[in-house]
Chains A and B, each alone.
Chain A
Amino acid sequence: MRKLITRGMLTRKLRTALTAIAIMLGVAMISGTFVLTDQINGAFDKIFASSFRDIDAVVTPQKAYESEDETFNPTLRLDQSLIERVSAVEGVALAEGAFDGSAGIVKDGEYLGSTGGAPSFLTAITSNAENTAQITSGGFPEESGQIAVDKKTADDNDIAVGRRVQVATTKGLADVTVAGVFDSEIDIGGASIILATLPDVQTWSDGEGKVSYIQAKADEGVSQAELKSRIAAELGDGVVVETAQESATRQAADINDSIGGFLTPALLAFAAVAVFVGAFIIFNTFTITVAQRIREFAMVRTLGAARGQVLRAVIGEALIVSVAASVLGIAAGYLVAAGIGALFKAVGFGLPTADASLAARTVIIALVVGVGVTLVASLAPALKATRIAPIAALREGATLPPGRLSRFTPWFALVIAVLGALLIYNGLAGSGSLSNRMLGLGVGALLEFVAAGMTAKYVVPGIARVVGWPIERVSRRTGRLARENSTRNPSRTAVTAAALMIGVGLVVFVSVFASGIKASFFDALDRSVQGDFIIEANGGQSIPGAGAIEAVRSAEGVGVASPLRFADARVSIDGGEPGTEYFTAVEPDTYAQVFRTDWQQGGSDELLARLGEGGAIVEQDWADGKGLVEGDRFTLNGVSGRSAEFEVLGFYKDEQLNTTFVIADEGWQRISDSRDIGLMLVDAASGADLTQVEASVKEAMKQFPIATVKSNEKYKEDLSGQLDQIVYLLYALLAMSVIISLFGMVNTLVLSMFERTREIGMMRAIGLTRWQLRRMVGVESIITAVIGGVLGLAIGLIFGFVFTKALEDEGLAFAVPYGTLFAVLIVALIAGLLASIFPARRAARLRPLEALHYE
């Protein structure tokens, strides 16, 4: 039997190879995900480990809670005076203040900061700076007005030691000299780093007398733990003291959790789709080959082989192919990791990476999934093979007996579809943790795909007729034959098309969802934002406080400038369990002039004027969810530990922008000292020329190059562009599934041509030219691909419709992206054509005489 397996595989090398590729690509996605996240984790581990290499203890501010997104939340700092108290602790050899901020470089009046997501770090130089940075030219900054920049930023922008540049900071522009260029040990993934002396960094970051954390070195013979407890005893409450080891581990873990908690499952979801598509192909390939080997199996059965042996022959082949393919897939994971990394970088989400060895976990999961999925997918065909009666060996053209349960297929499909629908329903509207519901959604969607794949054979002839119609008009002779060929075995065509359907369906879904978000979000912007210009900071940072507002207000032609501050805080209602919420702090009088609030329950802009220190207006849906009514009170706990109580004054509707509640600036100041701004809405004075106003505002903001002035239109365009980038990223990740399904199409075609060798010989004998034959195969392939495309469109639109309807409360609208749908069909058509090239060439190379006598 073992011989039967290996000989069988060797004689069908091509088919074995194509099946292996389908498995390999899916496994490569899994292994690539783990390799990439390991590389990222490794990089952060390294960053923190090296920055604390010569440090024994670290003192950081005590946070009231862990903020989920610190972009807009004020960073807590320590008082500089603590440094001396730490120095005085017995056993401390050295105590230094460290300061982390953000700043970009302005060269010849041009801001060099990244406009994507990668941060621009500003870091104070400390005694152990050389641990993370090796000077390649010049030296570390030693006095005020000097900086060192990372090599990549220096090289990319042609900045050499001695160059005069400016640093764009919270406080505006500062003139500096580049004292040195340094190389970072690790790939920092597109981030730029500026090093400067502590006093400079403090001044630029609006943090005079403050430090981010204090690092201490121990005297000889004092352990880290000992040092930690001595410092903690001295400083008491209000600060956190950790050993350097603890701090490095914790910080790395924090970042790795936030990346791993999102990135890993997201990438694994795409890998799962790829594997799933591969499973369709494995199932189809094995079903076809079992059908083609009926006489062979029947023959070995007449020679006395038991059913179990036939089963083992098929399963054994699947096992060998899948192990080999999984091993290759694991190795190919490094390429996938590099590819995904490059993809992220291309759309501005560059992340640092470091070499990572292959983790046992990667190998085990990839092998288990690769082999497991293959075995499951080949089980049904293998069982079918066992039902071949020995007598089939004697019959010409014996076909596989239909399974005992095959007439129940539509019912099975219905059960699976209903199950999937229930999971999707629960995911959208049910209870349970978010991650469980997301998993349910995903599994539910996969079940729907399975149900669609099972029933697709019933619609294949119909769709083929519709798809084939225009082709038959163009190519009458071969078109008709091609269509007949594509429908002579509907379940085979159905499964082949279904593999493509999955990738296409998800692309369409993403597209529908994105256009829904765009439509609703931009609609909300249009309705509410009345300002002519919007000023925002680059790269998700915040605009430095008071200075920028004054600058804009004094610009010529500016009527109103209103700052919006976005923040999060722990909100507790009626002493209930506090939850983190995002909210907006506004300047009431100017806000009313640039923002139209959709008041509910008879509210009006008058309420804004009454906000004061303790008032809040609340979004209607949020209020309903929390059971808040007018006059209710809730407490905000800031990250600094300060808290304040607010009273509900009124209600508005705005599911997109101000999702929870709005308070006044005075209220915000009760829990935070930060004056940083998230967005500034600017309205031109009536009658002013908009072009001139834009120019004057831009001129006024020149000293704050971290911010960009955009017209209302431009702002929306940019947002739309950012959304598109994410959508393209998702398309790129889905492309792998489409590529895998392409291999499935090639495989099915090759196997079908194999089956039809004699037919091909006959047609060639009676006058079918090679070119006509190739065209016939091409059209057949296109029909299959377009069927997959059409099914994918349908299922993608249905998913999109269901999801947007379910999220209608969030203001999401269902919008059909016609352009994308058209593009998807064209891509399917091209995919079909591509998939046919190789099988068509093989078929055309057959010599008619040999083909006619092929057994």
Chain B
Amino acid sequence: MSISETQIPSAPAAADSGTVVAAQDVTRRYGEGDAAVDALRGVTIDFPRGQFTAVMGPSGSGKSTLMHILAGLDVPTTGSVEIDGVEITRMKDKQLTLMRREKIGFVFQSFNLLPMLSAEENIDLPLTIAGRNPEGTWKESLLKAVGLDTRRKHKPSELSGGQQQRVAIARALASRPTVIFADEPTGNLDSRTSGEILDLLRRSVDEFGQTIVMVTHDARAAGVADRVLFLQDGLVVRDERGLTTGAIHDIMGTLE
């Protein structure tokens, strides 16, 4: 059986400004009885296409759990998540995997590149897994956009941390996913390199119309986003647009 033939039911094409990811009354409880922990206690949130959203909150606020559930890596205890209008919370592992393959890109804090593949091969990885051929022009413009067209043959061990993360971003963009989830993408980088990475994410939204959801605890990182969600104790406590870094810092101060 060929895996490349997707089994995801095709969703009605969403309008350019339509919602691409929607969470409805999502709760997540870990453990049982006295030891139970409620990581999310009822989150309802929409993410429109082409928007760069930062998710912030102190440790234990549930921001990572929310991202994992939105990305289909974790399952909510109650509530539902739709991506491109398709309910994903009751999908089987295989359907979920294919859904992630088609619609979701990831950028991780620790880059998570395959050490034995070159930069270019790492970028091709999602397409390789899906059995699709990389589109030459798209890949070229990606390599240029992330500034690695001269280092495409290098292995991750021959690249700096910032360069590795740029490869990871290009990898996430390669399959033109519906949404990219970035988990502390600057967490392992110095401030100058962080700036470059954030700039790259910003440009992905502006130039390619990419939807990005980024979990971060860095106010400066959140400052480049269009919208910032603040979580506390498993609930979205503020949903703001157009905040400055300073304002974000102040809000975080009130939450911790």
Residues of A within 8 A of B (CB): 476-477, 480-481, 484-485, 487-488, 758-759, 761-772, 848-849, 852
Contact = CB atoms under 8 A, between A and B. Distances in A.
10 contacts: A476-B131, A759-B112, A762-B108, A766-B101, A767-B97, A767-B130, A768-B101, A769-B3, A848-B73, A849-B74
A765 B115 CA distance: 17
A768 B73 contact: no
Interface residues of B, number: 29
A488 B125 contact: no
A487 B130 contact: no
Given A766-B100, A770-B94, A759 B114 contact: yes
Contact of A766 (B3, B93, B117, B129): B129
B114 A477 contact: no
A580 to B, nearest CB: 64
Contacts, number: 70
B126 interface: yes
Contact of A767 (B68, B112, B129): B129
A484 B117 contact: yes
Contacts of A488: 115-116
A769 B125 CA distance: 13
A848 B69 CA distance: 12
Contacts of A477: 128-131
Given A488-B116, A767-B129, 15 more contacts: A477-B130, A477-B131, A488-B115, A766-B100, A766-B125, A766-B129, A767-B100, A767-B101, A767-B102, A767-B130, A769-B3, A771-B94, A848-B73, A849-B73, A849-B74
A576 B246 CA distance: 110
Contacts of A852: 73, 108, 112
A359 B160 CA distance: 64
B97 A769 contact: yes
A765 B73 contact: yes
Interface string B67-80: 01001011000000
Nearest to B132: A477
Q: Which one of A758, A764, A767, A771 has the greatest number of beta carbons of chain B within 10 Å? A: A767
Nearest to B105: A766
B106 A766 contact: yes
Nearest to A483: B116
Nearest to A767: B101
B252 interface: no
Interface of B: 3, 68, 71, 73-74, 93-94, 97-98, 100-102, 104-106, 108, 110, 112, 114-117, 125-126, 128-131, 171
Contacts of A848: 73
B212 to A, nearest CB: 16
A763 B129 contact: yes
A706 B147 CA distance: 89
Contact of B97 (A480, A481, A484, A764): A764
Given A476-B131, A477-B128, A484 B116 contact: yes
A457 to B, nearest CB: 15
A476 B116 CA distance: 17
B112 A762 contact: yes
A764 to B, nearest CB: 7
A761 B100 CA distance: 13
Contacts of B71: 765
Given A762-B108, A848-B73, A849-B68, A770 B100 contact: no
Contacts of A484: 114, 116-117
A768 B125 CA distance: 10
Contact of A765 (B93, B100, B128): B100
A758 B115 CA distance: 12
Contacts of B74: 849
Nearest to A764: B97
Nearest to A765: B106
B110 to A, nearest CB: 8
Contacts of B102: 767
B73 A767 contact: no
Contact of A758 (B94, B112, B116, B171): B112
B157 to A, nearest CB: 9
B39 to A, nearest CB: 13
A842 to B, nearest CB: 16
B184 to A, nearest CB: 12
B73 A771 contact: no
B94 A769 contact: yes
B15 to A, nearest CB: 26
A485 B114 CA distance: 9
A770 B98 CA distance: 11
A216 to B, nearest CB: 83
Nearest to A763: B129
Contacts of B98: 767, 769
- Central interface residue in B104, B117, B129, B171, by most chain A CB within 10 Å: B129
A469 B74 CA distance: 37
Contacts of A768: 97, 101, 129
B114 A771 contact: no
B127 to A, nearest CB: 9
Contacts of B105: 766
Nearest to B93: A770
Contact of B116 (A485, A763, A769, A771): A485
B162 to A, nearest CB: 16
Nearest to A769: B97
Contacts of B73: 765, 848-849, 852
Contacts of B114: 481, 484, 759, 763
A725 B125 CA distance: 52
Contacts of B68: 849
Contacts of A758: 110, 112
Contacts of B100: 765-767
Q: Which of B98, B101, B171 counts the most A-chain CB atoms under 10 A from its CB?
A: B101
Nearest to B117: A484
A694 B131 CA distance: 68
Contacts of A765: 71, 73, 100, 106
Contacts of B104: 766
A772 B98 CA distance: 11
The 5 closest A-B pairs by CB, nearest first: A767-B101, A762-B112, A484-B116, A488-B116, A849-B73
A223 to B, nearest CB: 83
Contacts of B128: 476-477, 480-481
A661 B110 CA distance: 81
B28 to A, nearest CB: 12
Given A765-B73, A852-B108, A487 B116 contact: yes
B225 to A, nearest CB: 22
A771 B92 CA distance: 14
A487 to B, nearest CB: 7
